[in-house]
Structure 1
């Protein structure tokens, strides 16, 4: 009984920061657009190329997760401060890793993303060539009907 109470207390301690984060009000620019339409267009275009780390299948522009709101706030604040979208992307990648970007750059960690599809196509072509060549050869050497 005492062990169960201890586990419950530990679980509450671990879960409380997570629950508290969802109860915080959203960052000011999470849902508020910038006053300058050109800056807002830059921010929106960039937000569509950054992945929500909580949802993982949505961009931060499309996600309603609190973390995506914080990321939108960061993008808009930095655009308003005069940073370029590429500088902001580099900062996001540095902070959250390559996974945050829907447009990964070719580098030491990402080259397999670019090389594996080409290797798979070469393998498929090799297998098809072998099978089609064998089928063609069997058709030519087969017995003639009498």
Structure 2
């Protein structure tokens, strides 16, 4: 029984390795290595959080073939990435760029954290420097309260 469980575990862990079909692999090992590196940075538009190298979706296969086709035509890695981004949009990148409109998204989180910490520090500083509250009871009221509590 342990061998069966081990076999199932090994096949489960090796499932992403089966995504790239044998007919997709380029005969030139250098080009294939470049294709794999590029594919690891491209998002499968069907699976959303998987790279096209790990996905079994048909669209991921089409993207893998497109990457390999562009490499065979002589494009550099940057040209292949630019071609895919131009065709499918920046969402296809697993690691979005930090320029342009995305800069707002990259800065927004740390800016909100800094604003929250600044607000908390200002609140605590004002609270420390606030005067002590004055007693709300006059001397006659305090004497009457003491008299009532003794009874």
Q: Same fold, TM exceeding 0.5?
A: yes
* 1:1-146 mapped onto 2 (5 Å cutoff): 31=21, 32-134=24-126, 136-137=128-129
> Cα offset for 1:44?
0.6
**Alpha-carbon distance change, 129 to 60 in structure 1, aligned in 2, over 3 angstroms:** same
Structure 1 length-normalised TM: 0.66
Unaligned residue ranges in structure 1 (runs of 5+): 1-29
Q: Compare 76-85 and 87-96 and name the one that shifted more.
A: 76-85
Q: Distance in 1 between matches of 2:108 and 2:92?
A: 20
1:8 aligns with none
The two structures, once aligned, show a CA RMSD in angstroms of 2.3
Name the larger-Rg structure. Answer: 2
CA distance in structure 1 between the aligned counterparts of 2:127 and 2:27, rounded to whole angstroms: 67
Q: 1:55-88 deviations in whole A, cap 9, x for unaligned?
A: 1111111111100000000011111221111111
Q: In the TM superposition, what whole-angstrom CA distance separates every residue of 1:15-60 from its partner, at most 9, and x where no partner exists? A: xxxxxxxxxxxxxxx6221112221111111111111111111111
Query: How far does residue 135 in structure 1 lie from its aligned partner after superposition?
Result: 5.8
Which segments of 5 or more consecutive residues in structure 2 lack a partner in the other structure? 1-19, 134-151
Which stretch has the larger CA shift, 118-127 or 94-103?
Answer: 118-127
- CA drift at 1:136: 4.8
Q: Which of structures 1 and 2 has the larger relative contact order (alpha carbons within 8 angstroms, sep 6+)?
A: 1
Residue 136 to residue 54, structure 1, CA distance change in 2 (3 Å)? same
Aligned length: 113
